[in-house]
Structure 1
Amino acid sequence: MKAVFLDRGSFPENIDIPLPDCITQSEFYHNSDDSNVVERIQDAEIILTNKVKLNQAQLAQAPNLKLIQVMATGLNNVDLEACASLGIAVRNVSGYSTEAVPEHTFSLILALRRKVFQYHQDVRNGRWAHSEFFCFMDHPMQDIYGSTLAIIGKGALGTRVATIAEAFGMKTVFAEHKSATKIRSGYVAFEEAISSADIITLHCPLTSDTKDLINAEAFAKMKSNALVINTGRGGLVNEEDLVSALTSGQIAGAGFDVATVEPMPQDHILNTLMDMPNFLLTPHVAWASENAMTRLVNIAATNIETFVKQEAK
């Protein structure tokens, strides 16, 4: 069987991409786009893609195609209706980043609460050397012990975040769906969760119901000392409303690993916050520890092998 990886460059070179023995021919491309996708997939039986988009017109020109293995959890880059009509199976990878994303979440929380980057920069600029005392305390810090963490999303990631938070001595609450008319056991009402929380963290999928879940109305209900952490999807938070909430001092800070447009262009609205010490932005790397990426590619290889064996029966 022939397999084609359309955007191998989305993984570092040191991460080996294993393929099962049933793959006798493979082609790895650094990246692909609309200008070359059809040419590259037209005789493939299996496609591997991380973020390259595949639409109905392209897939219809790949008559041998049996499987699309998405090298991520999200499936929004693949036309699933087209795959169903063309008889193409689609597999994703889940559960590989249940340590990586929660750890990144807490790295953002701790850096913001403990003012890590402000103090590092001050030391770099010579402030410590000129301090009258053994230390200086220009940037007030807060413990996370005893604070309330509202978690939006109770899947594997949200649950793991809660476990880590409890080890820190935090109080955790899971927010119910914003539009819910009934509060499920183990949840609190959305408005109650965000208004009582010192830190709000998002770990839910981006859907029509969750787009702009955190907007001006939600920010207005938050505490003035609240942090908003988003390692989920950029569209979960209205970015214009975030800029307004931060620049006006409506909330205390925010840590993001995602944006509505990725890669994020220089004229993106979040770039207006980059000089603010209470805003941290990383380039969608929360998932990308070497441990997590190794788990991801191994799960993908198992998915492919399992699919081929089932097809052979």
Structure 2
Amino acid sequence: MTKIVLLDGYALNNDLDWPQLNQLGDCTFYDRTNVDDKSEILHRIDNAEIVITHKTPLDDDIISHASNLKYIGIMGTGYDVVDIDSAHKHQITVTNIPTYASEAVAQFTFSLLLEVTGQVGRHNQLVHENKWSQVPDFTFWDKPLFELQGKTLGLIGYGHIAQKVAKIAHAFAMNVIFYNHHPKPNAEEWATQVSLDELLAQSDVISLHVIQTPDTINIINKSTISKMKRHVIILNTARGKLINEVDMADALNHQRVYALATDVVQKEPIKVDNPLLTAQNCIITPHIAWAPLETRARLLDITINNLKSYLSGKPVNVV
């Protein structure tokens, strides 16, 4: 029977079940695997033909020593967790899940933006701390509030998620521009493709929607920030390594950037010395844009279907 190993299922399966996976082979489930311990990873995938991973890295060293490995299923859209070149070299099929979370991440992107511009959470907290009851007026606020109408949203990357974010922005009467590595000739007439420098210069809000590659790591840094409008708002629901965190913290603390709202950081879980934790006007959520129950159920279903397709000899979503 085919040996299947799931390396890190807790974030997905703590409230979902995997009965269909049990029907496809001899399954071993792990809630968590130490991502920094190669010996543990190698021990757990020893003799496995099929490995399913969420965030446990499979680099060239690990792949080279996994002699029976034939298939890697990535439970997510980004595939930087796997050395794809090494997998191809060893004739291992790798699949991902391209669009399972598009709706959820687009929704969360705007949740972050609305929190920055509307400060709902902050003022709810202040009311519960009895700050409202102590003022003489019927209203009060302690941070600026902003309308989105007429503001320019710049999207770096224009894949499935960014396109959904663009539609939400259009409904808010925002101007939408985007930068994409390849031309997007079929973009909506109200969304304008521009160069990266044009996007940096024109945007009131910049939202990141590119995968992590050598070209996109630290794409937001001291140099690119210097090309932006003062008091720009930056959103990141993609990958933490897209932002140089030291440069960003400095820009926030010197009011060069008005606010950062991010669901991801370079090292996750976040380290206590991350400079963003003490930066001004910085909202950080713990990588939850993908996590609604409906989204995770969809992810589970597609993970199973990817594996079924591979076992039937007709793999889909191949990286």
Taking structure 2 as the reference length, what is the TM-score of the superposition? 0.89
Residue 188 of structure 2 corresponds to which residue in structure 1?
none
- Match of 1:211? 217
Structure 2 residue corresponding to 1:255, chosen from 245, 257, 261: 261
1:292 aligns with 2:295: yes
Deviation at 1:222, TM superposition (A): 2.1
What amino acid maps onto 2:306 in structure 1?
N
Q: Which amino acid aligns with 1:144?
A: L
- Paired with 1:68 and 1:43, the residues of 2 have a C-alpha distance of 13
- The equivalent residue for 2:177 is 173
Residue 22 of structure 1 deviates from its aligned partner by 5.4
Pairing partner for 2:230 from 224, 230, 236: 224
What residue in structure 2 maps to residue 4 of structure 1? 5
Amino acid at match of 2:265: A
2:232 is aligned with what amino acid?
A
Asked if the contact 1:2–1:23 (Cα under 8 Å) also holds between the matched residues in 2, the reply is no
CA distance in structure 1 between the aligned counterparts of 2:219 and 2:67, rounded to whole angstroms: 41
Tell whether the 8 Å contact from 1:22 to 1:305 is kept in structure 2 after alignment: no
Q: Given residue 295 of structure 2, which amino acid in structure 1 is its aligned partner?
A: A
Give the alignment partner of residue 103 of structure 1, picking from 107, 114, 117: 107
Report if the CA contact (8 A) 2:152-2:174 is conserved.
yes
SS at the partner of 1:301?
helix
Give how far 1:221 is off. Answer: 2.5
Structure 1 SS opposite 2:133: coil
For residue 75 of structure 1, report the CA deviation from its aligned partner. Answer: 1.8
SS in 2 for 1:141: coil
CA–CA distance in structure 1, aligned partners of residues 133 and 60 of structure 2: 63
Matching residue's letter, 1:243: A
**Distance in structure 2 (CA, Å) of the matches to 1:268 and 1:107:** 23
> Are 1:64 and 2:77 counterparts?
no
Alignment deviations for residues 160-216 of structure 1 (CA, whole Å, 9 cap, x no partner): 110111111111011255xx9xx8764112222222211110101122222221222
Counterparts of 1:237-252 in structure 2 under 5 Å? 237-252=243-258
Q: Secondary structure at the match of 1:43?
A: coil
Q: Residues 18 and 298 of structure 1 are in contact (CA less than 8 Å); yes or no, is this contact kept in structure 2?
A: no
| DSSP 3-state at the match of 2:313 | helix
Q: Check conservation: 2:48, 2:68, Cα contact below 8 A.
A: yes
Query: Is residue 164 of structure 1 aligned with residue 168 of structure 2?
Result: yes
In the alignment, what sits opposite 1:304? 307
Q: Secondary structure at the match of 2:246?
A: helix
Q: Give the superposition deviation at 1:2.
A: 2.0
Partners of 2:239 and 2:264 within 8 A in 1:
yes
1:155 to 159, 164, 175: 159
- Confirm or deny that 1:269 pairs with 2:275: yes
Task: Please name the residue that 2:116 is paired with.
Answer: 112
Query: How far apart in 2 are the matches of 1:14 and 1:132?
Result: 48
Instruction: Kindly state the Cα deviation for residue 311 of structure 1 after the two structures are TM-superposed.
Output: 7.3
Residue 129 (structure 1) aligns with: 133
Letter in 2 for 1:252: Y
Q: 2:80–2:212: 8 Å Cα contact kept in structure 1?
A: no
Instruction: Give the whole-Å Cα distance in 1 for the aligned partners of 2:250 and 2:224.
Output: 12
Secondary structure, aligned partner of 2:132 = coil
Q: Secondary structure at the match of 2:39?
A: coil
- Deviation per CA, 1:209-245: give whole Å up to 9, x if none: 2222122222222222320101111121221111111
Corresponding residue SS for 2:199: helix
How large is the RMSD of aligned CA atoms in angstroms?
2.1
Paired positions, count: 305
Aligned-partner Cα distance in 2 for 1:244–1:288: 30
User: For the residues of structure 2 that align with 1:39 and 1:311, how far apart are their CA atoms?
Assistant: 29
Maintained 8 Å contact 2:149/2:174: yes
What amino acid is the match of 2:272? Q
**Residues 74-85 of structure 1 mapped to structure 2, 5 A cutoff:** 74-85=78-89
Are residue 188 (structure 1) and residue 194 (structure 2) matched? Answer: yes
* Alignment CA distance shift 1:134-1:299 (3 Å): same
Tell me, yes or no, if the aligned pair for 1:152 and 1:175 is still in contact at 8 Å: yes
Return 17-26 or 243-252, whichever deviates more: 17-26
| Contact 2:158–2:180 (Cα < 8 Å) also in 1 | no
Does residue 14 of structure 2 align to residue 13 of structure 1? Answer: yes
* Cα distance in 1 for residues equivalent to 2:258 and 2:19: 45
Does the CA contact (< 8 Å) of 1:20 and 1:302 recur in 2?
no
The farther-off stretch of 97-106 and 53-62 is 53-62
